[in-house]
Structure formats: C-alpha cells, structure tokens
C-alpha cells in the first residue's frame, strides 16, 4: 500500500488525480495533523489509524491519501474545505472515503464513530472487495 501525505486541503485534488492515474484503489483518510514525533491532536484518529491500514492492506493496488486536518483551522469552522464538497468529513474526523469507486456505486464513507471499530472497517473493506470483483 502506498501512503501519500496530503498536508493541506489545497493539495487534495492534485494528489487524488495523480493517485487515480497509477492505482486501482484510492482512498482518502481525513485525519488529525501529526507532529514530527508522530503524535496527533486527535485521539480518535490515533486509535483508527492502525485499524484502517490493517484492513486496506488486504486490498490490491491501493493508495491511501492521508489528508492532514489542522485543529486550529478545522475546529468550529463550518467553511473548512474538508467540511464541504463531495469528499468531506462525515461529521468529524477521522473519516475514510473510497475516492475512485466505480460509477454507480454509492459507497458511504466510514465516519468518525466507526473508523476505530475493527469490525465496521473490516465489513466496509469487504464491501470494497466485493465491488471490485464484479
């Protein structure tokens, strides 16, 4: 699995389009920004990260866009770029999207409450596996 760090929302579309050229499956994980030591201001994101990566690694040809969310810009800001548009946080972070799902598939994102739930992420990834095998 290739992991691409997307440091700011203005870099998201470029990173997504580049990943879609190379990888069969592209996912975006909107997650709390990490400090140089790997720590994050978002405890839910810290819990979810290894669960999400464990299950995504079971898929072939994957790119994960890790989209950093800066607390100072995000908190209380309804106009924050990742709160608007097609690929937006589902209530809060972390949120996981399948950004290049096949046309006609309505795949809801995994929202903040489910990203750290091993069974929910496993079930969602199983759905992705079934979708790509059709």
Mean pLDDT of the chain: 90
Provide the H-helix boundaries in 65-132: 71-74, 118-132
CATH of 2-132, one of 3.10.440.10, 3.40.50.1100, 3.40.30.10, 3.10.450.50: 3.40.30.10
Tell me which residue of 9, 7, 6, 16 sits closest to 83, measured CA to CA.
9
pLDDT-based confidence at residue 81 (cuts at 50, 70, 90)? confident
- Give per-residue pLDDT as tens, 95-131: 999 999 887 677 889 998 999 999 999 999 999 998 8
pLDDT-based confidence at residue 88 (cuts at 50, 70, 90)? confident
Q: What is the rounded average pLDDT of the residues 85-93? A: 74
pLDDT of residue 134: 66
Contact 48, 94 (CB under 8 A): yes
Contact 56, 27 (CB under 8 A): yes
- Give per-residue pLDDT as tens, 21-53: 999 999 999 999 988 888 899 999 999 999 999
94 pLDDT more than 90: yes
User: Rounded to the nearest 5 degrees, what angle is found at the Cα of 100, between the Cα atoms of 11 and 31?
Assistant: 50
- How many Cβ atoms are within 10 Å of 25's Cβ, its own excluded? 22
Tokens of 70: 């800066």
């Amino acid at each position: 699995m290739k992991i691409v760090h997307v440091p700011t929302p203005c870099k998201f579309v470029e990173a997504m389009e580049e990943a879609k050229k190379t990888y069969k499956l592209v996912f975006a994980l909107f997650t709390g920004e990490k400090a140089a030591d790997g720590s994050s201001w978002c405890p839910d994101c810290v819990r979810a990260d290894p669960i999400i990566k464990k299950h995504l690694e079971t898929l072939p040809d994957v790119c994960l866009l890790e989209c950093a969310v800066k607390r100072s810009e995000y908190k209380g800001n309804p106009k924050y770029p990742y709160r608007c548009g097609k690929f937006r946080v589902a209530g809060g972070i972390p949120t996981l999207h399948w950004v290049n799902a096949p046309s006609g598939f309505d795949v809801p994102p995994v929202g903040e409450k489910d990203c750290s739930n091993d069974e929910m992420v496993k079930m969602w990834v199983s759905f992705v596996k079934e979708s790509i095998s059709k």
